[in-house]
Amino acid sequence: MYGLAAPLMTATAAGWRRDLGQVFDATVATIKNKPVGMALTVCMPLPGATARMTELVGLYVAPPFRRRGIGTALVRHVLAEAHNNKVACVRLAVAKDNDVAIATYLRNGFKSTEFEILVAPFASFAAATKV
């Protein structure tokens, strides 16, 4: 089975925490003690409310280990931790064309919303995002 070591703070997460004043948690999925995937979350106040929410900031599984249930295990771990922390919800943003990720999230209780993420791309941002 897949090992989940949580939470693991990385140097990058520590830098983000320092810069943004938030506490990030990273959960690392391992196979034979080698990292194969990770989920990065942050717990914060729910906008306009007194409740808190968890945001799934990033989920990644290394290409050779995809389609083996590792992403699902990470999502379920995030949901369980959020439930244990008594947050109001878990939210995330996902690319519209990422069908595999969307299916994973929907299978695990996430719902689509009417909200759209809008970006104001400055020239440097637009150039950096071209594939």
pLDDT for residue 7: 47
pLDDT for residue 117: 74
pLDDT for residue 46: 77
CA atoms of 106 and 96, how far apart (whole Å): 13
Give the Cα-Cα-Cα angle 49, 50, 53 (nearest 5 degrees): 80
Helical H segments across 21-98, by residue range:
70-84
pLDDT for residue 51: 86
pTM given for the model: 0.74
Q: What is the pLDDT of residues 104-115, one digit of tens each?
A: 999 999 999 888
Which regions in the chain score pLDDT beneath 70?
Answer: 1-22, 123-131
pLDDT for residue 1: 44
**Tokens describing residue 66:** 């995809």
